[in-house]
Structure 1
Amino acid sequence: MIKNKLIFGLLGLFLAACAIKEKSFSSTDRGILIHIPKNDSADAKTISLEVLGNALIHVSAIPEQAFPKDSSLIIVDPNNKVAFDVVEIGDSVKLSTKKVNAMVSLMDGGIRFKDKSGNLILAEATGGGKRFNPIEVEGTEGYTVRQIFDSPSDEAFYGLGQHQADEFNYKGKSEELFQYNTKVSVPFIVSNKNYGLLWDSYALSRFGDSRPYVQLNELFTLYDKNGNKGQLTGTYTSKEKGVETLIRDEKSIFFEDVKSIKNLPQNFPLKQSNVTYEGAIEASETGEFSFTLYYAGYVKVFINNELVVSERWRTAWNPNSYKFKLNLEAGKSVPLRIEWQPDGGSSYCGLRARAPQLKEEKDNQVWWSEMNKSLNYYFVYGETMDDIIKGYRTLTGKSQIMPKWAMGYWQSRERYKTQDEILGVLKEFRAREIPIDNIVLDWNHWEEDQWGSHEFEKSRFPDPKAMVDSIHAMHGKMMISVWPKFYKNTEHFKEFDNKGWMYQQAIKDSIRDWVGPGYIGSFYDAYSAGARKLFWNQIYEHYYPLGIDAWWMDASEPNVLDCTDMDYRKSLQGPTALGPSTQYFNTYALMNAEAIYEGQRSVAPNKRVFLLTRSGFAGLQRYSTATWSGDIATRWEDMKAQISAGLNFAVSGIPYWTMDIGGFCVEDRYVAGQTIYNKTGKENADYKEWRELNTRWYQFGAFAPLFRAHGQYPFREVWNIAPKEHPAYQSITYYTNLRYRLMPYIYTLAGKTYFDDYTIMRPLVMDFSTDKTAENIGDQFMFGPAFMVAPVYEYEARNRAVYFPSETQWYDFYSGESINGGQTLNIDAPYERIPLFIKAGSIIPVGPKIQYTDEKKAENITLYVYGGQNGTFNLYEDEGGNYNYEKGDYALIPFRYNDEGVLTIGNRQGEFKGMLKERTFNIVFVDQKNPKPFDFESEGLTVTYDGTEQTISLK
């Protein structure tokens, strides 16, 4: 029998080898096409490798003979011919470019990427790691796909967009990729192993673990608080008099959407209650279990009598998720207790879990998507993270230079209710001499029942054109909120609907929103090219003639209805013009941004577009679009989570990101605190904390790519936070002025995002890649090449631990004292100051005091030069508001410092209309022997510069 098995095995190998020889692979114009001897219907049968650049390879796979004819929504084809070689080596084929080799097994299609020295960069899992399961939605056929890559134990992953669980390095972690208010999913990761991977799928996807979280009773044996099997105990205790405590069995803790919350006790006053879910859970296997907590209101979680989730809060209508892991033993009962204080009549709470990870997925890189026509990913090689992001933008599009005013401060509020109110706020900024460039008009400036009309309510905004003109006369810009939402009674809705370009489910179900009595409407289908043109035309006819400067694209997930389950969300946002919403679930914001960007450039081709959107996707940067982190909460833990969220979003290749400074949704105690303060004039405990929270958040926000405050009451204008003599006021205005004084530096960073594919907000690992400690630091970052920022995110903290990367020397911004790298120090952080440090070798241009970005030209620049190592900086300037830079109309002034103490100001390169021909540099030199604080008025060595090279000795 053994002999026969051996014979048949050898025969199988022989036949497989013959099959390879008969039909193995073929070359194409841009790569190779490989046909695999297929044993399983879930395996890949045809694989394509397409060379898009010397470091860019597109991999496609399908369990059929031929690929479908479709095109990518995210890829901008470089359309360049790249030389490559193809050679067969044994049972593999090697595809080679100048920078990488891709080895493909002709037996199973497994791919291994190597550098030119033969070092392995990335390898698909044994057998290729691909799985295909057929799926059919609304008559359209496709595949649910999974791809597994091997991942070494010391690998680190960054990117995936912006999420709120305060995770930084995604190695060993997982993330579900969908769009949600506060959650922006971008299927791109950058590895510390010198590559990036762009997953080309628009469907609901998962990274790190292909499985969904499930309800507790699907995974554990449950016991109530009395030890009875099959359920937990729910205890609902009301604070209202006369309401009896309710105790009931809970088969699971799943009250996470508008359907499942109906399973909460009906007619029970949740807002005035304390809810406890308690009992025990018993696992059927031993290992590490993953949990996701979904919450609105106040919540704590105890497992095994230990606090595993400290108190967290979100507003009732906008829940958040938080993830944690626990090791459990099979057959061992572990106490579970959830303490929940709902924060509204409709509030949400859920705890779900996943069993220990599948063996083939554990510790590896895993991608899963619900519905694709084929499996597609892009491998991007780079020696640095900047190289990798450059490759990503080669694939998905250049990031435009934002208008210069966008680098200044923006003031927003939910919401300015009248014309007088918005103008009065801008006048107050000017009267107080607090710099500002942009003021924002949020939603509901229309008549109450006219959402989508793009018209102003006359009683509150009697003359919109005069309002915008007045803002311009005060040297401000105005951004306006434009939603893809239309009430069904508006003429704009009817225009879309008559063409079949309006999503119908919300209309069929008579879904009413939260305004007044509630009105019925829906969202337009941004996947239709005709609908995108109409959307812009309506804006052009109604808003554009007013002279509005920028567009705020809210609810672009699209958020047709808050807090719905996934299946109903798909119904509400589809079917799309391209196919089922299941297939096109995540890319609405990208299509919506294209509508405005292409629309404005068609009518004003030389006026820079600026869009701000609440959602996004790979390629968003090519539409001059920034993203903000949505309606986050006003909690210290939420402020901290924005640091890692912003850093991972930056590594996702989209350089412009911002947040609501102070948080959007406000705890009742802060509102009550200001009410008490307004009545008594005394700073009570809650209002004291509110002021400090905002102070710390402004300190952090001044070093974000875009500097913007927004939120619900209490208002975020600095004088509404604290009076002029208060340290909160003084700190906020100090960092606002610092931001403006650094405008030559900041605008240079904006130029670099286009010309060098640069990233402004940078995790330490980007610049200190050989420092292993930096790989896991998600609460510090570099702001450009010079500044290391360490936000303070704990109440009443007056110091914090700061890590100083080992590859350089550092200087304290406030004293100029030097600090050796490679150590963690406890740094003072007084109320008024954020820990801030300068990297050795930095050259920082500081401009004049200004109230808005184009108030005056930087004729006099103080140039700070920090010794300790060589350094360079190329000062970038252009006209600030048009696209002439694309034609070469810009100027660079190169600075080079060698650590022998010599600064060279090179010949100016290029020119543009209105350029300064001469200017003065006041050079301030700082080194270990010459510590100097960063001072706007420091006197140094004065040099007059006329565009020709100069060499200056600084020692």
Structure 2
Amino acid sequence: MKFLKQIYLLVALVSTLVATKMSAQSFEPTKQGLQFSAQDLDIKIEFYSNNIVRVYKTPKGVSYDKKSLSVVKSPEKTVVNFEQKGNNKLLKSSSIQVEVNPVTGGISFYDASGKLLLKDKDYGTQFSAIDDGGTPSFKVREGFLLDKNEAVYGVGQIMDNKFNRRNSSHHMQNENMSTYSPYFMSVKGYGVFWDNNSISDYNDNPQELSFSGIGHCADYYFMYGKNADGVIAQVRDLTGKAPMLPLWAYGFFQSKERYHTQDESLDVLKKYRKLQVPIDVIIQDWRYWPEYQKSDSLWNSQSFDKERFPDPKKWVNEIHKLNAKLLIVTWPGFGPKTDQRKEFDSKNMIINFDSWPPKSGARPYDVFNPEALNIYWRYLNKGIFSYIGNDGWWLDSTEPDHINVKESDFLLPTHLGTYRSVKNGFSLMHNKGIATNQRLTSTDKRVVILTRSGFLGQQLYGSNTWSGDVQSTWEMLEKQIPAALNYTLMGIPNWNSDIGGFFAGRWKKDGGNMSPEFQELYVRWMQFGAFTPMMRSHGTDLPREIWNFGDRGTWCFDAQEKIINLRYKLLPYIYSTSWEVSNYNGTFMRPLVMDFAADTKTHEIGNEYLFGRSFLVAPVTKYKAKIWPVYLPQGSDWYNFWTNEYYKGGQTVTTDTPVDILPLYVKSGSIVPFGPKVQYATEKKWDNLEIRVYPGANGEFLLYEDENDNYNYEKGVYSTIKFKWNDLEKTLTIEDRKGNFSGMIKSRKFRIILVKPNQTIADNSTEITKSVFYNGKQTHVKL
């Protein structure tokens, strides 16, 4: 018996030594990670920073040099410590730990304290060989293990009225109204970006969460941020920060399908000015180009019909004289008789499937070809930007539209492979080409792009994605909210939708613009739109300009005017939030889970959100709703914006919602600046701002100002003023102003209001607690 025990011990010792030797031989250290082979895979793990780890896998012996369309970050110098953990290897930065199993290929991610965050499954990566349009490739699948009740978000803008993306499956193919990226964020404070631009699939079930698509590698980034803001900061570090948009881009936009002549759009602006309803932007939709009456062979020629737009330079000058801006549409597809199409065809830079409009012969250019991006801009700049001096772009059909679909279309070649292997990156590259070329052409105007699709990384290009050609229904309004919140949780902060919904023909039989239900739907949608990054009215079938709903004094006109005026009063708050988004990786539309993750009820709430750090918004999405339930998260107290009624957090309250009232609450400790009443964003200086302090907690606010529309802010040409509220001492400190810029207000007045719980502040109130003259030096205001 003793002899047998000695044999067992000897065998165990030999096995341990062999395993240790095999383990040591399996791993090859690299500068900031390691590489090894397991399960017929070559696997490379590399720290891009203390918080970001890249995992890269290919079939064993099959090398592939991946060029990302989204990732702009190079690995930064990171101290990585290596330890042995049994037969596994442990890699540690200051923020995360990565455990690697050399046999199964499994990878586990932990925080610095050793708390498990995520598992890349043992045997969870699969490569199935396929023929991809004549090129050997793979169907790639990557599986992860999550906690059973772990909430995740992201994946894209999905119109299913769901917020938490667990236990759902999605075919990720970017189309009109469906905008996907293979990314998810966990409530545990990490995110995963599976860097693949192909038509893909997301599937989550109790066994695993997986991505699958076409490619030559499995390539993903694990990002740890501790909380949602931290994850978004890592996303922006990896794929690009969001630049500042100009101040005017946060005003009101008006468009329709479509203004037929230059005089028609000018008349619209003139009428807004005559009515003294604020507006900043008019948008010109399609078919301003020649010969559209005969055919669409000149579709998107990026030139102007001489009869309907006889003097486009004068047209834009007149728009500017009316203190407004112009966005003009351009498409990725070109009709067969356009000069652009002829050049693209001659250089094999067209993706040969039919695009919009039907029977036109229009086809999209190859956005994946860098030379094609430059050619596109050459025509766009010559025909429009440098010719007429427009202020921004409406990039329609950036999925792009695909009609008369054939399966073989998806195997068509592009510069980077088959169309199906890169399709979801189309919008990203189209936006990139225009944004980067405009910046090379001029730095006097910030890039402003309205686009119908998106992909992770597009935030780098001044893009604002809208939700597509949605139906004008209450159900669709309701679906906009969680779709927007999941989209912005991908780190892409700018989003909007057609106020009132695009297709409104269903309402014609009920009186069109005079239909009481359509009017109410439009007003409720506009209230929602006022608390999105872009407030834009647009649609077809029924005109959307404010006077089409009645005259001033009628409820529908007055309700619209009220919310538009509120949007403009909040411009100092919104523009300062834009600086937080750009400089500090902030988010405009903040799901409650971002700020109140400890309150587990917020994990499933996708119909409310914070706009900036202070305003809780709960849009009304039902007809004739006179009251509306609003959940106020635990962790703060809350003020009803309209009445100043004061509530403790952690409860659902019933809010009175007459048609002109949007359920709106302000977080205690908030400091909110209100600007002057204006007709356009830059009409008046902010030299007499109202500053409202909502007591109940300490708080601070950073007021940001700059030259409003150029890139000088990137050179430090801006100013900030920090306000700090000490709730115990009831003291507001206005700190020293930092920075300066041309035209900066050096001396100004702040009208301070200490909001009193349950006491309403009347409009244009004279009940100012204190008026403070401020010359840039720190001052304390005792309230």
Corresponding residue number in structure 1 for 2:430:
592
* Distance in 2 (alpha carbons) for counterparts of 1:63 and 1:10: 33
| Superposition TM-score, scaled by structure 2 size | 0.95
3-state SS of the aligned residue for 1:158? Answer: strand
Of 438, 443, 468 in structure 1, the residue corresponding to residue 316 of structure 2 is 468
Residue 784 of structure 1 aligns with which residue? 612
Q: Which consecutive unaligned segments of at least 5 residues does structure 2 have? A: none
Q: Which amino acid aligns with 1:523?
A: P
Q: In the alignment, residue 111 of structure 1 is paired with which amino acid?
A: I
CA contact (8 A) 2:704 2:719 kept: yes
Q: Verify: 1:364 aligned to 2:208, yes or no.
A: yes
Name the CA shift for 1:653/1:48 in 2 (closer, same or farther; >3 Å).
same
Equivalent-residue separation in structure 1 for 2:624 and 2:336 (angstroms): 50
User: 1:553 deviation in Å?
Assistant: 0.7
Is 2:743 the counterpart of 1:743?
no
Task: Return structure 1 stretches of 4+ with deviation > 4 angstroms.
Answer: 9-16
Gaps of 5+ in 1: 39-43, 210-360, 678-682
Alignment match, 2:252: 409
1:689 corresponds, among 501, 511, 517, to 517
Native 8 Å contact 1:409 1:736 kept in 2: yes
Q: Is the 8 A contact 2:350 2:366 kept in 1?
A: yes
Alignment of 1:384 with 2:384, yes or no, is: no
Higher mean Cα deviation, 638-647 or 919-928?
919-928
| Partner SS state of residue 420, structure 2 | coil
8 Å CA contact 2:530–2:567 kept in 1: the answer is yes
Distance 1:465 1:91, change over 3 A: same
Question: What displacement does 1:200 show?
Answer: 0.5
Shift of the 45–23 alpha-carbon distance from structure 1 to 2, 3 Å rule, reads farther
Q: CA RMSD in A?
A: 2.1
Q: Output the amino acid matched with 2:531.
A: F
What is the distance in 2 between the residues matched to 1:769 and 1:177? 28
Partner of 1:57: 53
Alpha carbons 2:300, 2:335 under 8 Å: kept:
yes
Do the aligned partners of residues 632 and 11 (structure 1) sit closer, same or farther apart at CA in structure 2, a change above 3 Å counting? farther
Q: Please tell me whether residue 671 in structure 1 is matched to residue 514 in structure 2.
A: no
CA-CA distance at 1:846 after TM superposition:
0.4
3-state DSSP class of the match of 1:584?
helix
Name 1:905's counterpart in structure 2.
734
Structure 1 SS opposite 2:557: helix
Match of 1:234 in 2: none
Aligned-residue offset at 1:141: 2.1
Contact 1:142 1:374 in 2 (8 A): no
Cα distance in 1 for residues equivalent to 2:231 and 2:45:
19
Distance 1:799 1:673, change over 3 A: same
Q: Deviations over 1:67-95 (max 9, x none)?
A: 31121111012442112112222211111
User: Residue 813 of structure 1 contacts residue 933 of structure 1 at CA under 8 Å; is this kept in 2?
Assistant: no
Change (3 A) 1:167 1:891: same
**Structure-2 change in CA distance of 1:16 and 1:365 (3 Å):** farther
SS for the counterpart of 1:53 is coil
| Residue 462 of structure 2 corresponds to residue 624 of structure 1 | yes
Superposed displacement of residue 15, structure 1: 11
What CA deviation, in whole Å up to 9, does each residue of 1:404-435 have, x standing for no partner? 11111100101111111101101011001111
**CA distance in 2: counterparts of 1:206 and 1:936, whole angstroms:** 54
CA contact (8 A) 1:111 1:128 kept: no
Secondary structure at the counterpart of residue 586 of structure 1: helix
The yes-or-no answer on 1:164 pairing with 2:159 is yes
The 3 A distance-change label for structure 1 pair 16 and 896 is same
Give SS of 1:740's match: helix
Provide the C-alpha distance between the structure 2 equivalents of 1:72 and 1:15, rounded to a whole number of angstroms. 41
Is 1:140 matched up with 2:135? yes
Q: What residue is the counterpart of 1:130 in the other structure?
A: 125
Q: Is the 8 A contact 1:859 1:919 kept in 2?
A: yes
Give SS of 1:692's match. helix
Find the counterpart in structure 2 of residue 237 from structure 1. Answer: none
Structure 2 counterpart of 1:88: 84
* Structure 2 residue 469 is matched with structure 1 residue 640: no
Structure 2 counterpart of 1:926: 755
The separation in 1 between residues aligned to 2:525 and 2:50, in whole angstroms, is: 43
Matched, 1:896 2:724: yes
Is it true that 1:763 corresponds to 2:620 in the alignment? no
Q: SS in structure 2 opposite 1:129?
A: strand
Q: Is the 8 A contact 2:289 2:305 kept in 1?
A: yes
Which residue in 2 is equivalent to 1:430? Answer: 273
SS of the residue corresponding to residue 666 of structure 2 reads: strand
Which among 803, 810, 813 is matched to residue 631 of structure 2? 803
Match for 2:36 among 34, 37, 52? 34
- What does the per-residue CA deviation read over 1:371-419, in whole Å, with 9 as the maximum and x for residues that have no partner? 1110011111012211100000000001001111111110010111111
1:870: which partner in 2? 698
Equivalent in 367, 383, 388 of residue 526 of structure 1:
367
Give the whole-Å Cα distance in 2 for the aligned partners of 1:722 and 1:67.
66
- Give how far 1:462 is off: 1.4
Q: Deviation string for 1:696-734 (max 9, x for gaps)?
A: 111111001111010002111111123222211111111
State yes or no: 1:551 paired with 2:393: yes
2:356 and 2:401 in contact (8 A); partners too: no
Distance 1:737 1:493 in 2: 44
- SS of equivalent residue, structure 1 residue 895: strand
> How far is the alpha carbon of 1:482 from its aligned partner?
0.1
Contact preservation (8 Å) 1:868, 1:927: no
Contact 1:23 1:35 in 2 (8 A): no
Separation (CA, whole Å) in 2 of partners of 1:198 and 1:702: 31
Q: Deviations over 1:613-634 (max 9, x none)?
A: 1011010011111100000000
User: Is the CA contact (8 Å cut-off) linking 1:787 and 1:837 kept in structure 2?
Assistant: yes
Specify the alignment match of 2:410 in structure 1: 570
Contact 2:81 2:91 in 1 (8 A): yes
Alpha-carbon distance in structure 2 between the residues aligned to 1:405 and 1:864: 24
Residue 651 of structure 2, aligned match among 798, 802, 823: 823
Query: 1:772-818 CA distances to partner (integer Å, 9 max, x unpaired)?
Result: 01111111110001100111111111111110101110001111110
CA deviation after TM superposition for structure 1 residue 13, in Å:
7.2
Q: Which residue does the alignment assign to 1:295?
A: none
Aligned partner of 1:493 among 341, 349, 355: 341
| Cα deviations by residue, 1:569-609 (Å, 9 ceiling, x for unpaired) | 525xx311111112112101011011101111111134211
CA distance in 1, matches of 2:569, 2:284: 27
Which of these residues, 21, 25, 28, is aligned with residue 27 of structure 2? 25
Residue-by-residue CA offset, 1:220-247 (whole Å, 9 max, x unaligned): xxxxxxxxxxxxxxxxxxxxxxxxxxxx
CA contact (8 A) 2:352 2:409 kept: no
Cα deviation for residue 18 of structure 1 reads 6.8
- In the alignment, is the contact (CA less than 8 A) between 1:674 and 1:714 conserved in 2? no
Distance 2:87 2:763 in 1: 66
Q: What SS does the corresponding residue of 2:77 show, helix, strand or coil?
A: coil
Amino acid aligned to 1:140: T
Quote how far apart the aligned CAs of 1:877 are.
Answer: 0.9
Secondary structure at the aligned position of 2:522 is classed as helix
For the residue of structure 2 that corresponds to 1:61, the secondary structure is: strand
Aligned residue in 2 for 1:112: 108
- Kindly provide the CA deviation profile for residues 874-927 of structure 1, in whole angstroms up to 9, marking residues without a partner as x: 111111111111111111100100112111000111111111101110000014
Q: Is the 8 A contact 2:505 2:542 kept in 1?
A: no
Q: In the alignment, which residue of structure 2 is the partner of 1:535?
A: 376
- Residue 11 to residue 180, structure 1, CA distance change in 2 (3 Å): farther
Q: 1 CA distance for matches of 2:403 and 2:376?
A: 20
**Separation of aligned partners in 2, 1:505 and 1:568:** 9
Match of 2:561 among 730, 733, 738: 733
Residue identity opposite 2:710 in structure 1: N
Residue type matched to 1:108 in 2?
Answer: T
Q: Which amino acid aligns with 1:830?
A: P
CA contact (8 A) 2:137 2:215 kept: yes
1:82-127 residue CA offsets vs partner (Å, 9 max, x unmatched): 12112222211111111111111122121111111111111123x1
Other-structure match for 2:184: 189
| Pair 1:604-2:434 in alignment | no
Q: Name the CA distance, whole Å, in 1 between partners of 2:327 and 2:77.
A: 42
| Offset, 1:64 | 1.2
Whole-Å Cα distance in 2 between the matches of residues 24 and 877 of structure 1? Answer: 56
Look up the equivalent residue of 2:28 and give its one-letter code. S
- Relative to 1, partners in 2 of residues 1:12 and 1:379: Cα closer, same or farther, differing over 3 Å? farther
